[in-house]
């Protein structure tokens, strides 16, 4: 078991696990990042514009490939939480610092993080991130609009 699971995450809330996940992205710490995930075969991750990664080995390889280009400076903002019994869903905006030919800029990614309460405490079972945009997407004002 990774050291982060035994030290930090054993009694952590879903919010604590999410904070640890984003800290790991910012520091490029693959072990800390993977400690946030549930120990289940069907965990899933979708990077912005990327393919669906299923299972810890695929998710680890995907983040290792991202970290090969440096850390990911993503800050979670405007978190909307839905918790029910043993599951918690966070819909949020990730403000990501990126380098462009014109210098540093920000992109905004709409993301969903799903957590389950496991025997080891709360753990991430899904992370899905949309392609980035230059401005944060605003929530639809009218719930009558059907996109799909």
Q: What is the DSSP string of 120-136?
A: TEEEEEEEEEPPPBSSP
pLDDT at 139: 63
Q: Where are the domains of the chain?
A: 3-129
Express each pLDDT in 58-85 by its tens digit: 999 999 999 998 889 999 999 999 999 8
Q: Tens digit of pLDDT for each residue in 4-37?
A: 444 457 778 999 999 999 999 999 999 999 999 9
The model's pTM = 0.85
- The length of the chain in residues reads 148
Summarize pLDDT for 87-139 with one digit per residue, the tens: 999 999 999 998 778 888 899 999 999 999 998 899 999 999 998 888 877 66
How distant, in Å, are the alpha carbons of 52, 60, 90, 122, 125 from that of 7?
30, 20, 24, 14, 20
In CATH, the number for domain 3-129 is 3.10.450.50
- Asked if residue 145 has pLDDT above 70, the reply is no
Q: Which two tokens stand for residue 11?
A: 């009694």
pLDDT higher than 80, residue 147 = no
Average pLDDT over residues 41-67: 96
**Radius of gyration for the alpha carbons in the chain, expressed in angstroms and rounded:** 16
Q: Kind and range of the H or E element at 92?
A: strand 87-100
Is the model's pLDDT at 56 over the cut of 90? yes
Query: Distances from the Cα of 104 to the Cαs of 17, 28, 46, 54, 115, in angstroms?
Result: 28, 19, 25, 32, 32
């Amino acid at each position: 078991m990774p050291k982060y699971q035994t030290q930090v995450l054993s009694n952590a809330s879903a919010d604590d696990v999410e904070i640890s996940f984003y800290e790991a992205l910012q520091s490029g710490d693959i072990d800390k990042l993977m400690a946030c995930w549930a120990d289940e075969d069907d965990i899933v991750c979708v990077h912005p514009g990327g393919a669906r990664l299923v299972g810890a080995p695929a998710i680890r390889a995907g983040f290792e490939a991202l970290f090969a280009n440096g850390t990911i400076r993503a800050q979670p903002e405007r978190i909307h939480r839905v918790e029910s019994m043993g599951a918690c869903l966070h819909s949020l905006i990730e403000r990501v610092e990126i380098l462009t030919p014109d210098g540093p800029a920000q992109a905004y990614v709409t993301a969903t993080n799903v957590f389950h309460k496991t025997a080891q405490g709360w753990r991430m079972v899904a992370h899905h991130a949309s392609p980035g945009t230059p401005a944060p997407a605003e929530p639809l004002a009218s719930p009558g609009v059907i996109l799909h």
